Structure 1
């Protein structure tokens, strides 16, 4: 098929590249000329494992092209995917200005039947707005062109997006038109070689709702487990053992019940707020979602609170090594990352920070921690430990899983670790002589003398 993908951000670029990988003729469109020039030269704007090689391969095969002019990319297109950003507005609702601008441009330029696919994460009722916008533009031109608007939400995990797209758990398609549904089936058929049962066709509004509910459910599991972790710590239970105890129940499972420093990223915070706003507009107060947010906001500062409890409110003259800045491993994304809040809190108390992350240092410097004083970025995890009073692990990158603990111990002023991801075995840490602070387990007194 001939596809036009509008937006070359995380969703648009992954979507377009994966469709091209299956032999479709794909053009990705973006108004950012510099980004398009970089993509044409093989420079990828985001870090996603496997994406750069796939982009270059499909550009070389002439199945993937890039453009800044949507009006030139509609002729002959079977489908146009809207994959632009839907940032959070001031009131917490999704800002649809970019989605509707694309719809307007489509209405201004389409001359033949077209399937318009909402791939962006959008609230219930957006497809109607897109349809009305396109129809209004066609009427201004005095044209009648057959088109259908489909909801096809994405379910990609940053750090594993290529695998998620090529081997999806499910593909949700919202449309009431049988012919359109069949065309969507043909498009996605290469990704379901064994069975098409995982393509779920439903009405448009249910499809739009599914995306938000999925992310809200996962965010709820995370906040619930973090709430449990905080209770465990107060009553003397070990949340690591509790997690295994409940995860073995097939009704619960182990996914998203790891205690930590809270969720971040581009999806969960924004989508929970948007679903709350959708409920509010419908006259319903989503109390559980309010609690999910409140727990997560507090959880982002738990590790900072532990440091302050251990060393005091005044941290002048103290240095802390930070391992991990991205909100999760496998990405350079720092949107709403716990590291932002922890570092700001510690530096406000006078501390200096040595920070290391395999991929997110540029994002930290240029955007999320720009202007924050007393932060030094290092080229390796061990370099970050130099002259540090303690180490804080905030992102569970693979290279942090089995470090040289003797190297850590020798470089730190005192062998103290605050683990925001419960990465290490506490018994082992005791044997090695570390003072080891976790989430959801009361610290044992290791008789380490304060520096």
Structure 2
């Protein structure tokens, strides 16, 4: 049985804590929202308004703090405040704890923000009182508890081999494919790319919905067929290499030609236009000698 503290008890934190508790671990929820604490306590859960590690054995401290956006940036105010409080709790502990970043954060946050904050507020160094790991969540809001208990993918990242092993041992019983990385930024980018890919796919099919509507066609059977016919849908490795433009005859012809179709029915397709622009840029990059400056036109 592991000792686990979940710092931040929103949808992700609650699902995470309940999942670990269901697996037999000793879990404490930590939050500053009194209404949220009261709701957790009403379910018989251990919920506190502060983190105290003085009498605790080596534990996992899981950060599931909010990271909302403000315009085109993440607002890490609450995340930083919660992380600082963890550092203060580490100062009073004689044990070593694994601090796990589970919130969705910009790549580089675990080592560029969390680790320095923990050092500053604990007065300790990594490996001498704490280690830092990344374990991003892939939970859907409507089924978060069930998704945690039955994951299809788990990502674990830490510089420390032993930390990766410990976190893997904690998560392995839940099943699913576990991927290990030595750089927490890799795990952080995986989560960001995961969400952005999903958003891009939705926007793509919304553009096709606009086209279908203008042409008097029903999108659903078209989309369901493309989901079986398009290589990008049935081959998980298709197009993920990166650094190479698409070429050949079909893809350049049809992406650019379809922009003309859209123009002819009075539609703007900004996502498709961006696809063409990115490919044009990658084509230019491929033809530029290594180390030469990027063209302003690209």
Asked if these proteins are the same fold (TM beyond 0.5), I'd say yes
* Structure 1 position 92 matched with structure 2 position 93: no
Contact residue 4 and residue 26 of structure 1 kept, 8 A: yes
Contact residue 30 and residue 67 of structure 1 kept, 8 A: yes
In the alignment, which residue of structure 2 is the partner of 1:269? none
Contact residue 14 and residue 161 of structure 1 kept, 8 A: yes
Report the CA distance between 1:5 and its aligned residue.
0.2
Match among 27, 45, 68 for residue 49 of structure 2: 68
Q: 1:291 to 1:37 in 2, by over 3 A?
A: farther
Match among 175, 181, 190 for residue 158 of structure 2: 175
In the alignment, which residue of structure 1 is the partner of 2:284? none
Contact residue 114 and residue 146 of structure 1 kept, 8 A: yes
Report the CA distance between 1:247 and its aligned residue.
1.6
| Matched pairs, number | 234
Superposition pairs of residues 37-436 of structure 1, within 5 angstroms: 37-42=38-43, 59=44, 64-71=45-52, 75-89=56-70, 91-110=71-90, 111=93, 112-128=95-111, 129-139=113-123, 145-192=128-175, 198-202=177-181, 203-249=183-229, 251-253=231-233
Report the CA distance between 1:291 and its aligned residue.
6.2
In the alignment, which residue of structure 2 is the partner of 1:261? none
Per-residue Cα deviation, 1:152-199 (whole angstroms, up to 9, x for no partner): 11000122222211111110111121100110111012212xxx7x11
Could you tell me how far apart the structure 2 residues matched to 1:65 and 1:82 are?
17
Report the CA distance between 1:252 and its aligned residue.
4.5
Could you tell me how far apart the structure 1 residues matched to 2:51 and 2:34 are?
13
Is the partner of 2:52 in helix, strand or coil? helix
Contact residue 4 and residue 74 of structure 1 kept, 8 A: no
Q: 1:153 to 1:143 in 2, by over 3 A?
A: closer
Larger radius of gyration: 1
| Aligned-pair Cα RMSD in Å | 2.6
Could you tell me how far apart the structure 2 residues matched to 1:80 and 1:16 are?
11
Q: 1:251 to 1:205 in 2, by over 3 A?
A: same
Structure with the largest fraction of helix: 2
Q: Which runs of 4+ in 1 moved over 3 A?
A: 141-145, 250-254, 287-292
Gaps of 5+ in 1: 43-58, 255-286, 293-451
Gaps of 5+ in 2: 235-269, 276-298
| Alignment TM-score, normalising by the size of structure 1 | 0.48
